[in-house]
A and B are shown apart, each in its own frame.
Chain A
């Protein structure tokens, strides 16, 4: 049944049409979105590697073949994106944010198409479809003015990226006469030894697009705005799934570098790859450094996403077997924990009504399930074993050290340590500390949300302790791009270059030592619970001097010493470049507008001058 590939695209489109009609009935819209995701998931169960399908598109009277081809990579990406989407849409059933289900379904259609297509027309079509659907989705966040600005900014970047790909794909078409991705890649690989600069130019046209979508270094500026001001339930999808499209694209093109024999190498890497490793590292460090000082929690985690994507890019750019394994593995892990984190953030924001860290605090007593999900999420994000973020980070370090990229590795380690800092800042400011009286009536999320949170907690622990379930399919992908996959022994081991890690053993060790900890805790002298106001205040009685929980909560300028340290960094503004470009364009626009002065005589003059110029041109020619 090969035609189910086309149904992977059409089912969400049909669902989207239905959902759009029922848009006013919010619950129905969400229900249809969820069920379409579930149906699509069933369709994915029916796909298998090696499946192909093709049909002809009547375009300018000529037939353009649209073809589908399922690879190991595409099926992996399909599974993780759709499973996560299903969970998210299930969560959104009870959500009240202004996420639009039909747009999410359009993105799903594009998602399935991008991951399975083998022709650039389909790829571009789906890419653009995903682009505009997500742009419109970003509209309608809680802060309208800001979300409008964010959407516009994102739109301009995204459209710029699309046009770059436009150029690239047609240039390839001019060279080969074919739109097929696989044959074009083969062509590029075959000529890379002869014309490396040509290949580099074409590939970089595509890479600009992918970097914009993934939010990699010079093109990262839209990420914090769009993530922060998108509807709360849409941000998880944006961060967890949509940033991976860029990674997917890069993975498609990177095998070319295997052939770059003519290129000079740095540390055994083709220098292009070397540059990309550094771009990844810069992104990772930049994301971390900027995340420290955010007060808007979604912005903070947007920068965190940036940082993690930097890791992924650095790893896959190495294009060694460990590097690619680590990159894809980290892509999965990032999807899982960042999805979980953004879902809990959506829960917190919907309950507390604010996304400002300085206005929250002490919510753990009110939302314990969310609190634990968030805790495990940040433990994963910080790479603490046995949760799921550890294995991939660990492999990334090893892949980097293997190439003797010491400075890059040190900087990545800095980013990872920094990650711990900002994650804890968010954790503290939301859940720990003093509970403001504004939130006395805050409740835990409804049952649906709790189910989702338990599910995510389980997933983060399960895939942490049993990494084999992910590493095996990743191994197949690595094999399919022509590298040697890492050996996977059992489900619990991560086999690295320098040493192995037995994840269940760590789990056992932790469990047993916790049991001892609890025994010691309960046999020793008893404790009593006191209220949060009962604190050491140097002998002052808090009520006497008008102390309120808000004033007694420490969350403003959390890392002030860091701010002093990093002050020189903030003078470099990448954002300013794009803004300047925009302002410059606007000024030019105002100037150009003056051409149309609104006077018939001048217009006549224009026509006459135009004629004279043409006549002279004819004369001279």
Chain B
């Protein structure tokens, strides 16, 4: 009985993450359009796109391709249930942050396996760029995570949220300002927004990993991106903004972070890969390390 309850709740969280993610993407397009002084598509445009993609025929390059693409979405959905979302915290004893991060890696591995098995070099170049970039943003992010670990004396998101209770001034965002800025920059890379979107450069490598994706495969890719946005901004909210008393406020906080990323995305050009990585290893890492030193000493 407990199992089914948790199962249904998990499905709910999954559905929520997908819807919020798609909605964010749609609103993002709208906002970007407004910055460009365009009208922009409706906010629910991405729901339409996903439905269309799932109704469209598609081609596949074999079972590894299918499996990889499915794994990309499913592993993220599996990770999202461990994330405390407002008052919904399904597995409070198991919300280890590093575990969630490594579980997300499964999604990247699945996605990378799927698109690479298509045999298109553009896809592999995209993956290679994405992984290189991952090496860039993971390191400053790790520095921040570990400072938070030491600061809060816990590695579980549940407890990190609990440690920030009691008002705005207790948020890690205020207490660990350098760490927050470093994590924000890392988040930009994690979301794959400009200036760190070299993995899906449409003009150079024909949208990179997505080059061979058609129909439902592209649909899965979009779902993965949606859940990814939800998960990554959700982690940030829990880490730095003290979680949220309920889902709505949680989503609003997530949107605040996403909004900053959008603004940066709308006005900046793209880095080259090694520039991106070395930028990540200079400024955010420096900030993260300063933060770590402050925490340790």
CB proximity of A541 to chain B, nearest CB, Å: 15
Residue ID in chain A nearest B122 by CB atoms: A536
User: Is residue A421 contacting chain B, with contact meaning CB distance below 8 A?
Assistant: yes
**Stretch of B58-66, B186-194, B237-245, B262-270 on the interface side:** B58-66
B98 touches A427 (CB 8 A): no
CB proximity of A226 to chain B, nearest CB, Å: 28
User: Is residue A530 contacting chain B, with contact meaning CB distance below 8 A?
Assistant: yes
The range of chain A's interface size is 35 or more
- 68-118 of chain B: CB within 8 A of chain A: 70-71, 73-75, 77-79, 81-82, 91, 93-99, 102-103, 105-106, 108-109, 112-113, 116-118
Beyond A394-B96, A394-B99, A509-B81, is A528–B57 a contact (Cβ under 8 Å)?
Answer: yes
Question: What is the CA–CA distance of A521 and B274 in the complex, to the nearest angstrom?
Answer: 37
Residue ID in chain B nearest A554 by CB atoms: B121
User: Is residue B212 contacting chain A, with contact meaning CB distance below 8 A?
Assistant: yes
Beyond A420-B105, A499-B96, is A371–B64 a contact (Cβ under 8 Å)?
Answer: yes
Question: What is the CA–CA distance of A53 and B231 in the complex, to the nearest angstrom?
Answer: 58
Identify which of B54, B103, B215 contacts A385 (C-beta below 8 A). Answer: B103
Identify which of A404, A418, A535 contacts B296 (C-beta below 8 A). Answer: A404
User: Is residue B29 contacting chain A, with contact meaning CB distance below 8 A?
Assistant: no
Question: What is the CA–CA distance of A434 and B122 in the complex, to the nearest angstrom?
Answer: 12
Identify which of A365, A404, A553 contacts B121 (C-beta below 8 A). Answer: A553
Which among A365, A401, A435, A552 has the greatest number of chain B C-beta atoms within 10 A?
Answer: A401
Chain A residues, CB < 8 A from B58:
525-528
Return the CB mask of B35-53 against A: 1 if under 8 Å, else 0: 0000000000000000000
A410 touches B56 (CB 8 A): no
**Stretch of B19-27, B146-154, B164-172, B252-260 on the interface side:** B146-154
A527 touches B206 (CB 8 A): no
**Stretch of A439-447, A452-460, A557-565 on the interface side:** A557-565
Number of interface residues of B (CB under 8 A): 88
User: Is residue B132 contacting chain A, with contact meaning CB distance below 8 A?
Assistant: yes
User: Is residue B134 contacting chain A, with contact meaning CB distance below 8 A?
Assistant: yes
Chain B residues, CB < 8 A from A414:
135, 138-139, 142
A406 touches B119 (CB 8 A): no
Identify which of A428, A501, A529 contacts B96 (C-beta below 8 A). Answer: A501
User: Is residue A476 contacting chain B, with contact meaning CB distance below 8 A?
Assistant: no
B155 touches A499 (CB 8 A): yes
- 212-228 of chain B: CB within 8 A of chain A: 212, 215-217, 219-220
Identify which of A497, A530, A536 contacts B60 (C-beta below 8 A). Answer: A530
Identify which of B11, B74, B99, B215 contacts A514 (C-beta below 8 A). Answer: B74
Q: Is the interface of A mostly helix, strand, loop or mixed?
A: helix
Beyond A364-B64, A432-B117, is A512–B10 a contact (Cβ under 8 Å)?
Answer: yes
Chain A residues, CB < 8 A from B32:
none
Beyond A406-B150, A536-B206, is A413–B78 a contact (Cβ under 8 Å)?
Answer: no
Which among A375, A390, A565 has the greatest number of chain B C-beta atoms within 10 A?
Answer: A565
Question: What is the CA–CA distance of A444 and B54 in the complex, to the nearest angstrom?
Answer: 35
- 526-569 of chain A: CB within 8 A of chain B: 526-530, 532, 534-536, 538, 549, 552-554, 558-559, 561-562, 564-565
A505 touches B74 (CB 8 A): no
- 122-138 of chain B: CB within 8 A of chain A: 122, 124-125, 127-129, 131-132, 134-135, 138
Residue ID in chain A nearest B214 by CB atoms: A527
Beyond A421-B135, A499-B156, A500-B94, is A552–B119 a contact (Cβ under 8 Å)?
Answer: yes
User: Is residue B236 contacting chain A, with contact meaning CB distance below 8 A?
Assistant: no
A534 touches B59 (CB 8 A): yes
User: Is residue B143 contacting chain A, with contact meaning CB distance below 8 A?
Assistant: yes
CB proximity of A467 to chain B, nearest CB, Å: 13
CB proximity of A509 to chain B, nearest CB, Å: 4
User: 25 A–B contact pairs at CB < 8 A?
Assistant: A371-B64, A385-B99, A385-B102, A404-B296, A406-B147, A406-B293, A410-B143, A424-B112, A431-B117, A498-B149, A499-B155, A501-B96, A506-B94, A506-B99, A509-B79, A510-B75, A512-B78, A516-B14, A525-B56, A527-B59, A528-B57, A532-B61, A549-B119, A559-B128, A561-B277
Top 7 nearest A-B pairs (CB, nearest first) are A498-B155, A499-B156, A554-B121, A517-B74, A413-B142, A561-B274, A561-B273
